[in-house]
Amino acid sequence: MIMGGKSLKGSVSISGAKNAAVAAIPAALLTEGVCRIDNVPNIKDVDVLLDIMRHLGAKIKKIGTDALEINCEKIHSFTVPYEMTKKMRASYYFIGALLGRFNHAEVSPPGGCCFGSRPIDMHIKGFEALGAKVNIDRGIVEAHATKLESAQVFLDVVSVGATINIMLAATRVNGTTIIENAAKEPHVVDVANFLNAMGANVRGAGTDTIKIKGVEKMAGGSYTLIPDQIEAGTFMIAAAATRGDVLIKNVIPKHLESITAKLVEVNATVEEFDDSIRVSRNGPLHKANVKTMPYPGFPTDLQPQTVALLSMAKGTSIVTESVWDNRYQYVDELRRLGAQISVDGKIAVVEGVEKLSGANVKATDLRAGAGLVIAALMADGVTQMHDIYHIDRGYEGLELKLNSLGAQIVRRNSGKSLINEKGIAYV
Query: Would you count residue 302 as binding ligand EPZ (CB under 6 A)?
Result: no
408-409 vs 34-38, strand pairing mode: unpaired
245-249 vs 9-13, strand pairing mode: parallel
Nearest residue (CB) to ligand EPZ, 19 versus 150: 19
Contact between 281 and 239 under an 8 Å Cβ cutoff? The reply is yes
Query: Would you count residue 108 as binding ligand EPZ (CB under 6 A)?
Result: no
Contact between 297 and 304 under an 8 Å Cβ cutoff? The reply is no
The backbone torsions φ and ψ at residue 92, rounded to the nearest 5 degrees and listed phi first, read: -65, -20
Query: Would you count residue 98 as binding ligand EPZ (CB under 6 A)?
Result: no
Query: Would you count residue 237 as binding ligand EPZ (CB under 6 A)?
Result: no
Stretch that binds ligand EPZ, among 75-83, 115-123, 142-150, 305-313 (CB under 6 A): 115-123
Binder of ligand EPZ out of 22, 202, 341, 361 (CB under 6 A): 22
Residue 78: name the closest of 33, 155, 144 by CA. 144
CB atoms within 10 A of CB 56: 21
Residues in region 281-300 near ligand EPZ by CB under 6 A? 300
**DSSP calls for 349-361:** EEE--S--B--EE
Residues in region 116-175 near ligand EPZ by CB under 6 A? 118-123, 157, 159-162
Contact between 262 and 298 under an 8 Å Cβ cutoff? The reply is yes
Interaction mask 326-365, ligand EPZ, x per CB under 6 A: ----------------------------------------
What is the rounded CA–CA span in Å between residue 361 and residue 241? 19
What is the rounded CA–CA span in Å between residue 288 and residue 352? 11
Annotated catalytic residues are 113
Contact between 341 and 298 under an 8 Å Cβ cutoff? The reply is no
Query: Would you count residue 321 as binding ligand EPZ (CB under 6 A)?
Result: no
Stretch that binds ligand EPZ, among 14-22, 32-40, 132-140, 247-255 (CB under 6 A): 14-22
CB 141 → ligand EPZ: shortest distance, Å?
Answer: 12
Query: Would you count residue 85 as binding ligand EPZ (CB under 6 A)?
Result: no
Which DSSP state fits 29? G
Write the single-letter amino acid at 61: K
Nearest residue (CB) to ligand EPZ, 90 versus 241: 90
CB 300 → ligand EPZ: shortest distance, Å?
Answer: 5
CB 122 → ligand EPZ: shortest distance, Å?
Answer: 3
Residue 130: name the closest of 168, 162, 177 by CA. 177
Nearest residue (CB) to ligand EPZ, 88 versus 277: 88
Query: Would you count residue 323 as binding ligand EPZ (CB under 6 A)?
Result: yes
Burial of 410 (0-12, 13-18, 19+ CB in 10 A): middle
Binder of ligand EPZ out of 84, 113, 348, 407 (CB under 6 A): 113
Query: Would you count residue 260 as binding ligand EPZ (CB under 6 A)?
Result: no
CB 50 → ligand EPZ: shortest distance, Å?
Answer: 15
What is the rounded CA–CA span in Å between residue 213 and residue 203? 8
Q: Which residues bind ligand EPZ (CB under 6 A)?
A: 18-19, 22, 89-90, 113, 118-123, 157, 159-162, 183, 300-301, 323-324, 366-367, 394
